[in-house]
Structure 1
Amino acid sequence: MIAQVTGSLATKELDRVEIMTAGGVAYECLIPLSVYEGLPAEGQAVTLHTHLSVREDAWHLYGFAHPYERAVFQKLLGAKGVGPALALGILSALTPDRVVRALREKDVTTLMRVPRVGRKKAEQIILDLADKIDTVGRGPVAGAAPANPVADDAIRALIALGYNQAEADRAVRTVMDSGAGGDVSVVVRAALGKLTGK
């Protein structure tokens, strides 16, 4: 079992990275979009928490920024019809905390925002995992989505404007962490500024 890879970031793409270890071995890790957005520049040090998937025709290593994110990925693999590619897609569209919350609350609509997840698939994932998701523990405090009505309303507004859950969560969290808040429209405008670079 390869649980963690540390080294210099040799290459990075939207869905995968290569990490060159001190021993001279480079590992290719498939990653969700959220991990890509947090990567350092090529050549800098990086550590990913990994999950090794072994099949008859291929071995694939999946990389995550936090053990919690990996735990959510592994839990998703326990749902009927969810393989590594779909589990990675879910974590690219939704933050780990949002996935856990959707499962706990049996929120079919949120899961249906993920590409390739229709109502039937979302209901199956909830059926398989809703009673088991608490075993993944809690995410890192710094990466937790803001938990208040203003933040939730702002996130929904951004999603309605076409941004995905992960983008909306990150932008609103950044705005809320800076001390802004109180009014949904103010938070949405500030978050849009973060998303568009204005």
Structure 2
Amino acid sequence: MGGPEVDRLIGLLSKLPGLGPRSARRAALKMLQQPEARMLPLAVALTEAARAVRPCADCGNIDSQDPCSICTDEQRDRSIICVVEGVGDLWALERARVHHGLYHVLGGTLSALSGIGPEDLTVPGLLNRIAEGDVAEVILALGSTVDGAATAHWLTDQLRPTGVVVTRVGQGVPMGGALDVLDDGTLAAALRTRRGV
């Protein structure tokens, strides 16, 4: 069609979530029709983000500063940590503006099929944060999947000796649902109706 450079561009775009080969071709064509206005600014933004963005050493969020802007925000309630599976879930909760405490990104959920065990999760960092600070509550905001439920149960056992109150998100998160695809109202209802574990 347009040479190896275009094929490579389409191939790379098609690896992004939500973009298959057909959508990637449309996106590539749109950018190539106005490279000065669309493609070059995107290339600059990608390069700058690749150089500047890194994981937060405290919570696991990704930001251009470490600790991240959430962890350094003095307006945050430091007595509550909301545990999420991934950064996408953290961003979804932030977008909904329903949690005003801190976060902790686990980096996945326990899954025998995927080979993810306790050693693959960032639980030691969470336990250290609880031991060092004035954390009173940990909210387990994990998806309502089998792996999410198993992880929440296992994590509750790990947190019990710390003495913090452990809650889970309540209504609104459907069985099998992932947090990063839910609408803001559903996320708000789920966080407001959290319950003890």
TM (norm. structure 1) is 0.27
Structure with the bigger RCO (C-alpha within 8 Å, sep 6+) is: 2
